[in-house]
A and B are shown apart, each in its own frame.
Chain A
Amino acid sequence: MTEVGPSAQRIIANIEKVIAGKYDVIRLGVTVLLAEGHLLIEDVPGVGKTTFAKALARSIDCSVRRIQFTPDLLPSDVTGVSIYNAESADFEFKPGPVFANILLGDEINRASPKTQAALLECMAERQVTVDGVRYELQSPFLVLATQNPVEMEGTYALPEAQRDRFTAKISLGYPDRTAEIAMLSDQTTIDPLSLLQPVSDAAHIRALIETVRTVHVVDSVKDYVVTLAERSRNHPEIRLGASPRASLHLLRTAKAAAALAGRDYVLPDDVQQLAVPVLSHRLIPAATATVAGRAPEDLLAEIVAKVPIPVASPRG
């Protein structure tokens, strides 16, 4: 457990060289990586979504592939395709970009739902089935997708099934004034991204993920997670609440967050902090909430503020 924190801190520090003043977001990204999840970065253009994704990818010495999602992108462009090999007189599978440790999907909502759906199996089951043949993906496997929330013309909103497969959604937001000035001085001369050196590798990340899996969770915290999910399902202003997969993702990220904090046990605090980024993008608010201008984040924050934290001691 002791090496998870420092290793993660090294990765975070590395990324911060490129994206200044966004510690919490970067930490969340690393948490999702260690929780074997996938990250959806939603923000306006130009705030560093792609830079963040690339910086994360570069900080880890592993295979990174990038897909620029466009309306004419086909599923086979993502997963790979079987091509007839005249020499062997057989169909030969040409792996697509998903066969990498980190898949950077830029502007994911610009691809057609058909293409987006190509990612479903990869993300959930970490495998690709082409022509009846199953191909295992590499480990670790992280999908970092970005999307732009303002320019909706010519985009296809992510289907619910797809959104649910993203562990967390984050927004980078604008940098603060000093960070932006620093960025102006740094990035006008050289591209700091090009100077970024990996501080970890795939094997190390795999080891860290294994460690995270051993983090202890008491029943009362599991109960707390399920209560939060239930409340989101029963909330009058939420049309679609958190799925069981969402509960699972929440608990996994909580474990990763605990490990990152150097603990081998999950606290309700971990769950509280991650509830909004992990659950909010999966919720579909009811019309009343939309009309009232209440975002899913607000509704979730309200739920978190109302659910009592577990207090029972295991001593009884």
Chain B
Amino acid sequence: MSAPARQQYGTGPDPVVAAATGTVAAGVLLTTLPLRSIFTDWSWLLVGIGCVLPYLAVVALARMRDTPRWWHSAVGLLASVLMVLWVFVPQHLWLGVLPTPSSFGDIGDLIRSANTSMQQEHAPLQSTGALRLLVASALVVLVALTDVLAVLLRRPLLASAPLLEVLAIASATSSQAAHPVWFAAAAGGFLLIMLSGTRLQDRAWGPSVDGSAGRLGGARRMAVTGVLAALVIPLLLPSVSVNVLARATHHNGGNGDGPGKGTGRPIVLNGIASLRGNLQRPKPVQLFQVKVNAGIPFYVRQEVDDEFANDGWRPSGQLGQQDNLVRLDQEQFDIGPFENPPAKAQAKPYEARFTLLALGGSTLPILANPTSLKSPGGGVWNSATASVQDATLRRGMSYTEETSEPNPTLAQLRAAPAWVGDAETTSRLVGLPDGMPASVQELTDRLVAGLDSPYDKARAISDFFTNGKNNFHYSLTTSDRGDRTALEAFLDPDTGRQGFCQQFAAAAGVMMRMAQLPTRVVIGYTHQPPDSNGVFTVLTSDAHAWVEVYFSSIGWIPFDPTPLTGGDATRAVDLPWATHPQAGAQETAEPTANKGPSASGSAASGQANQASQSGDQFGVPTVVVEIGLLVLLAIVLILVLTFGPRWLRRRQRRRRLERARITGNPEPLWLELAATATDRDALWPSTVTVGQVAGWLSRHGVDERGRAAVTAVADRVERDRFSAQLVQELPPDSIAALDQALTRWARRTDRRLSLLHRWLPRSLISGQPRWRR
């Protein structure tokens, strides 16, 4: 191929070449779209297009009048450079057009300024004039270079190489991944350039001889595959925040705001459990590592919210009182009157070593009920919240905690008496603000009706949320309704009952307090089971919220009301006193008003629920089902869009042939023949007679057997149209022969047919052959 590679364009202008100039430029602009991830606005692109236009205008005009020449591109580039100067440094131009030494000084200043802002600022950033100058200059050079390579030299593959730099810059500069749409656009642009260049190659050297479809067909197939891959693959990569898989497998991750912004900065946990909100999940970041000497400890706690107000739980001011605080520079310390489990025999002792990775702030993550803690970062133990505050968390800091988690038996818990305490403590542990919704109180009363022990009440309320029958499901958004409180909205069986751990913990906390149980909401982290060395790593996505209920003579006992299902279930630590109910469990199904308290839900509705909730029963989160359905829908849509038109055509043909077979009328056959000819862009003109059609079609790709079949049908059509008697019968083999001939013809590759027309048969759009109208 080396000899034709040096072949020049033929003399004289060629409209295809002039059009390719524009196509290639459009391809380059599409390819630069991923740069959007660097900037917060679009002005860089608009200015860039403005600066590229002079080049395009000059070159396209020249190519409309002449064969492509080097000097056309040189003049075009000069025009675009003048445009750049006129846009960015108009003040020192001679006669308003030509640059002067001062202009270059101005340009130098702008470039220095752009350099500074690139070094000091982090992307994404506002496109300033200096940055716009850089981008516009780069665009001009890229368009000119690509145009010369793809159009003048007809080297589309080589032309695409400089554009790879754009992708590299876009992905290297910004900490945020560019939106997949921009990459899809870039892929489209890339392939546009390839297609355009290949078309020019075909034009100059003739189509490739090695395949029926030739180079252009190959490039088209590649274009379609490339664009589809660019659209679909990013959606499936688990690391990208917008992709469907990431959303589907996203964990039950608690407090979403905060973690993950900027890997270089410490991450601080937001210690508020709100009843409303959206969970945004950036890429998970490792916060700290824990090594335990035995067993599987419960969740790692960090903060405690003991006051409910304004649709959320937050720490109350009372927790900072001096009498609750113990400085951690002591070897051993008293963990306070409420934290010390009296049933020491049942306690599960652990020694845990924490190593901080990215966690910042001032509260130490710890396991509950520490018996010994030595913190190099200082801090004070708050016995009222069972947490360590005022410490200084540093990356790499390690500390060891000895802990004795409560492990009461069910009998011990059931035996625990109801809370009795002084007014102030009761208010602190059980109190709720005035004006709580009566409906929630009613619901709580129904749930705990007939239950005596505080444990049974707490269990009933916790199970209410985790029992799949009650239709609570995990979701990254709450269903927000303005006319009610967030609590009512969350508990509404018709419109709500979706949220993430904050809402479950917050609502359970409120309902438990309504049942007169001393309750608080704990913010911390779930974790995977420790590995064989007893090590587990906690990520930002492990953030979680749960509740603790105080049982007299036992202490604070955790309950996790969030329904952890599917993959998340592996991160749930099973609590013997609050195992999540199985599918068949009836006792905590939501009581209906007319059925009275608790116990047995309606059998009929139970079955119905069971059927409708099967997704939950098998541990598949609803969101996965939803996304699965969406993916299925998308696949169906793609299939329908891809194959629908051709399927319609096939059905149309089947029906026409059938009609001809039944009625003996040859006209439907003729109509089908005309439709296929239309699809193949080979419809005969209106001046061609029926008898001449076979000859016409054989010149347009119908084979010899097909010609005979068409002739046979044409004979019938002529007789039907022009003789005294209508044709009443058609030989079945002539119908079959025509069907086969048309099928063979439709399968033949025709390079003249565009991808669009192969996808959407023309006859579907034009209906009747145009000469029939």
**A residues adjacent to B (C-beta < 8 A):** 216, 218, 220-221, 263-269, 272, 304-315
Any chain A CB within 8 A of the CB of B639?
A: no
What residues of chain A lie closer than 8 Å to B723, measured between beta carbons? Answer: 216, 263-265
Contact status B667-A265, CB under 8 Å: no
Measured in the bound complex, the distance between the Cα atoms of B724 and A266 in whole Å is 10
- Indicate which residue in A220, A264, A307 contacts B687 across the interface (CB closer than 8 Å): A307
A312's closest neighbor in chain B, by CB? B721
Beyond A265-B718, A267-B689, A315-B667, 13 additional pairs, beta carbon < 8 A: A216-B723, A218-B721, A218-B722, A266-B722, A267-B690, A269-B689, A308-B771, A309-B686, A309-B688, A311-B686, A312-B721, A313-B720, A315-B720
Contact status A308-B724, CB under 8 Å: no
- Indicate which residue in A264, A268, A269, A272 contacts B724 across the interface (CB closer than 8 Å): A264
Any chain A CB within 8 A of the CB of B363?
A: no
In chain B, residues 674-708, which have Cβ atoms closer than 8 Å to a Cβ of chain A? 686-692
| 11 CB-based A-B contacts, threshold 8 Å | A220-B722, A263-B723, A265-B719, A265-B722, A267-B691, A267-B722, A268-B722, A305-B687, A308-B686, A308-B687, A310-B721
What residues of chain A lie closer than 8 Å to B665, measured between beta carbons? Answer: 315
What residues of chain A lie closer than 8 Å to B724, measured between beta carbons? Answer: 216, 264-265
Contact status B721-A314, CB under 8 Å: yes
Measured in the bound complex, the distance between the Cα atoms of B667 and A106 in whole Å is 50
> Beyond A218-B721, A313-B720, is A306–B726 a contact (Cβ under 8 Å)?
no
Any chain A CB within 8 A of the CB of B772?
A: yes
What residues of chain A lie closer than 8 Å to B772, measured between beta carbons? Answer: 311
Measured in the bound complex, the distance between the Cα atoms of B723 and A264 in whole Å is 7
Contact status A269-B687, CB under 8 Å: no
What residues of chain B lie closer than 8 Å to A309, measured between beta carbons? Answer: 686-690
Write out, one digit per residue, whether chain B residues 657-675 have a CB within 8 A of any chain A CB (1) or not (0): 0000000010100000000
In chain B, residues 717-773, which have Cβ atoms closer than 8 Å to a Cβ of chain A? 718-724, 726, 771-772
What residues of chain B lie closer than 8 Å to A218, measured between beta carbons? Answer: 721-722
What residues of chain B lie closer than 8 Å to A307, measured between beta carbons? Answer: 687
A213 nearest CB across to chain B (Å)? 14
Most chain A CB atoms below 10 A, which of B667, B722, B772? B722
Interchain residue pairs A-B with the least CB separation, the first 7: A308-B686, A265-B723, A216-B724, A265-B722, A269-B689, A268-B689, A269-B691
Contact status A272-B689, CB under 8 Å: yes
What residues of chain B lie closer than 8 Å to A306, measured between beta carbons? Answer: 687
Measured in the bound complex, the distance between the Cα atoms of B718 and A304 in whole Å is 19
B525 nearest CB across to chain A (Å)? 79
Contact status A314-B689, CB under 8 Å: no
What residues of chain B lie closer than 8 Å to A267, measured between beta carbons? Answer: 689-691, 718, 722
B712 nearest CB across to chain A (Å)? 16
A203 nearest CB across to chain B (Å)? 27
What residues of chain A lie closer than 8 Å to B691, measured between beta carbons? Answer: 267, 269
What residues of chain A lie closer than 8 Å to B771, measured between beta carbons? Answer: 308, 311
**B residues adjacent to A (C-beta < 8 A):** 665, 667, 686-692, 718-724, 726, 771-772
What residues of chain B lie closer than 8 Å to A272, measured between beta carbons? Answer: 689
- Indicate which residue in B667, B720, B722 contacts A221 across the interface (CB closer than 8 Å): B722
B683 nearest CB across to chain A (Å)? 12
What residues of chain B lie closer than 8 Å to A216, measured between beta carbons? Answer: 722-724
B673 nearest CB across to chain A (Å)? 13
- Indicate which residue in A305, A310, A313 contacts B667 across the interface (CB closer than 8 Å): A313
A140 nearest CB across to chain B (Å)? 26
A52 nearest CB across to chain B (Å)? 28
What residues of chain B lie closer than 8 Å to A314, measured between beta carbons? Answer: 720-721, 726
Contact status B721-A269, CB under 8 Å: no
What residues of chain B lie closer than 8 Å to A220, measured between beta carbons? Answer: 721-722
B667's closest neighbor in chain A, by CB? A313
Measured in the bound complex, the distance between the Cα atoms of B685 and A306 in whole Å is 10
A273 nearest CB across to chain B (Å)? 10
What residues of chain B lie closer than 8 Å to A265, measured between beta carbons? Answer: 718-719, 722-724
A240 nearest CB across to chain B (Å)? 24
What residues of chain B lie closer than 8 Å to A264, measured between beta carbons? Answer: 723-724
B668 nearest CB across to chain A (Å)? 10
What residues of chain B lie closer than 8 Å to A269, measured between beta carbons? Answer: 689-692
What residues of chain B lie closer than 8 Å to A221, measured between beta carbons? Answer: 722
A41 nearest CB across to chain B (Å)? 28
A257 nearest CB across to chain B (Å)? 13
What residues of chain B lie closer than 8 Å to A311, measured between beta carbons? Answer: 686, 721, 771-772
Measured in the bound complex, the distance between the Cα atoms of B687 and A310 in whole Å is 9
- Indicate which residue in A263, A304, A315 contacts B726 across the interface (CB closer than 8 Å): A315
Measured in the bound complex, the distance between the Cα atoms of B771 and A17 in whole Å is 45
A216's closest neighbor in chain B, by CB? B724
A310's closest neighbor in chain B, by CB? B721
B725 nearest CB across to chain A (Å)? 9
Contact status A304-B721, CB under 8 Å: no
What residues of chain B lie closer than 8 Å to A310, measured between beta carbons? Answer: 721
What residues of chain A lie closer than 8 Å to B687, measured between beta carbons? Answer: 304-309
B772's closest neighbor in chain A, by CB? A311
What residues of chain B lie closer than 8 Å to A308, measured between beta carbons? Answer: 686-687, 771
> Beyond A267-B691, A269-B692, A308-B771, is A313–B721 a contact (Cβ under 8 Å)?
yes
Measured in the bound complex, the distance between the Cα atoms of B669 and A313 in whole Å is 13
B691's closest neighbor in chain A, by CB? A269
Measured in the bound complex, the distance between the Cα atoms of B721 and A220 in whole Å is 9
Measured in the bound complex, the distance between the Cα atoms of B356 and A312 in whole Å is 87
A216 nearest CB across to chain B (Å)? 4
Measured in the bound complex, the distance between the Cα atoms of B724 and A211 in whole Å is 15
Measured in the bound complex, the distance between the Cα atoms of B722 and A263 in whole Å is 10
B397 nearest CB across to chain A (Å)? 90
What residues of chain B lie closer than 8 Å to A266, measured between beta carbons? Answer: 722
B315 nearest CB across to chain A (Å)? 86
B241 nearest CB across to chain A (Å)? 61
Measured in the bound complex, the distance between the Cα atoms of B718 and A272 in whole Å is 15
B621 nearest CB across to chain A (Å)? 62
B728 nearest CB across to chain A (Å)? 11
Measured in the bound complex, the distance between the Cα atoms of B723 and A309 in whole Å is 16
What residues of chain B lie closer than 8 Å to A268, measured between beta carbons? Answer: 689-690, 722
Measured in the bound complex, the distance between the Cα atoms of B772 and A308 in whole Å is 10
A256 nearest CB across to chain B (Å)? 16
Measured in the bound complex, the distance between the Cα atoms of B772 and A296 in whole Å is 30
B245 nearest CB across to chain A (Å)? 57
B663's closest neighbor in chain A, by CB? A315
